[in-house]
Amino acid sequence: MSKIKVVIAGSSGRMGKALLEGVFQSEDLQLHAALDHAGSAFVGKDAGEMVGNACGVKITADFASALQGADVLIDFTRPEGTLAHLEACLKLGVNIVIGTTGFNPQQKAQLAAAGQKIGVMFAPNMSVGVNLTFKLLETAAKVLSHGFDIEIVEAHHRHKVDAPSGTALGMGEVIARTLGRDLEKCAVYGREGITGERDPSTIGFATVRGGDIIGDHTVIFAGIGERIEITHKASSRATFALGALRAARYLEEHPAGMYDMQDVLDLR
């Protein structure tokens, strides 16, 4: 059986290294190319050296050439870079797994449109555990739809540039959709000063940034006399990498379309 030819974007970054390790440890995946931004000190270096496993694949900034002959691109970079990569994938018929966060509604529409021609797997979090948590939150929101205030608390490392995290927003979207609310209208992202009593229809978000926290998320359903908390804590980026590689395999076996990890894990 031929191996799935994988291209990794942002290969010198924290997630890029985790993805490289995952590909090297897989029997059915092959590193086809490794990308980094133009001007990176790692361009021209052996991608495997990022994880102590020289492989002969040189890191490049020429994504159009790198994608030639590939099966799938895995991208955990920035919205602008991901969208540029997406255009190249569309031209070459290469599937794409997107773990990038921070897209605006118009950019998300571009991802959905691409799904009409290629396989697009887009999720705010690739972790199997987080995506199971999404399902648990849907159930909890149905049961606790009245009399419970909902707050989402997330913590990440000091280098994370967007807030709240894409995962926290994804959790909020699951809950809002289940409750028949519009997250854009009911979300509260910060409280300061005399705020008045809490509006029971809102969903609150709190953000912590510090140290090397990989990713912690807690959703609190606070009622009178009881409180339910659903928490996921990541201790390694390997969990996101393994989920992304699982998604790459899924796209290889399915027709063009827009998918997320709920599809990959059969949690619909």
**d(C-alpha 184, C-alpha 204), whole Å:** 12
pLDDT for 257: 98
CATH code for the domain of 151: 3.30.360.10
Would you say 237 and 18 are in contact if contact means Cβ atoms under 8 Å apart?
A: yes
Q: β-strand 203-209 against 149-156: which pairing, if any?
A: parallel
pLDDT score for 101: 87
- Is residue 42 located within the same domain as residue 55? yes
Domain count, the chain: 2
Are 227 and 243 members of one domain? Answer: no
Do 193 and 81 reside in the same domain of the chain? no
Helix, strand, coil tally for the chain in percent (to 5): 35, 25, 40
Q: Is 185 a catalytic residue?
A: no
Whether the bond into 79 is cis, omega within 30 of 0: no
- Catalytic annotation, pick one of 17, 85, 156, 232: 156
Predicted TM-score (pTM) of this structure = 0.83
Alpha-carbon gap, residue 210 to 110, rounded angstroms: 33
pLDDT digits (tens, 9 = 90+) for 78-130: 999 999 999 999 999 999 999 998 899 999 999 999 999 999 999 988 999 99
As a whole number, the mean pLDDT across the chain is: 96
**218 CA to centre of own chain:** 17
Residues 200 and 241 in one domain: no
In a shared domain, residues 151 and 209 = yes
Same domain, 185 and 72: no
* pLDDT reported for residue 47: 96
- C-alpha span between 92 and 67 (Å, rounded): 7
Euclidean distance between CA atoms 228 and 244, whole angstroms: 30
Residues, the chain: 268
Together in a domain, 39 and 110 = yes
Give the closest residue to 214 by CA, choosing from 237, 247, 244. Answer: 237
pLDDT in tens, the chain (268 residues): 799 999 999 999 999 999 999 999 999 999 999 999 998 999 999 999 989 989 999 999 999 999 999 999 999 999 999 999 999 999 999 999 999 988 999 999 999 999 999 999 999 889 999 999 999 999 999 999 999 999 999 999 999 999 999 999 999 999 999 999 999 999 999 999 999 999 999 999 999 999 999 999 999 999 999 999 999 999 999 999 999 999 999 999 999 999 999 999 998 7
H-helix or E-strand spanning residue 156:
strand 149-156
- Please, are residues 128 and 260 in contact by the beta-carbon 8 Å criterion? no
State residue 268's pLDDT score: 79
Q: Which residues contact 254 (CB under 8 A, 6 or more apart)?
A: 119
**Same structural domain, 150 and 178:** yes
CA distance 162 to 170: 14
Beta strand 29-35 with 4-8 is parallel
Q: Are 50 and 147 contained in the same domain?
A: no
- 116, 153: one domain: no
Domain of residue 158 covers 128-234
Question: What is the distance, to the nearest Å, from the Cα of residue 141 to the centroid of all Cα atoms in its chain?
Answer: 22
Helix (H, G, I), strand (E, B) or coil at 151: strand
| Amino acid at residue number 68 | Q
Catalytic site residue 156? yes
> Rounded to an integer, what distance in angstroms lies between the CA atom of residue 135 and that of residue 137?
5
168, 218: one domain: yes
DSSP state of 162: S
- Domain containing residue 75: CATH number: 3.40.50.720
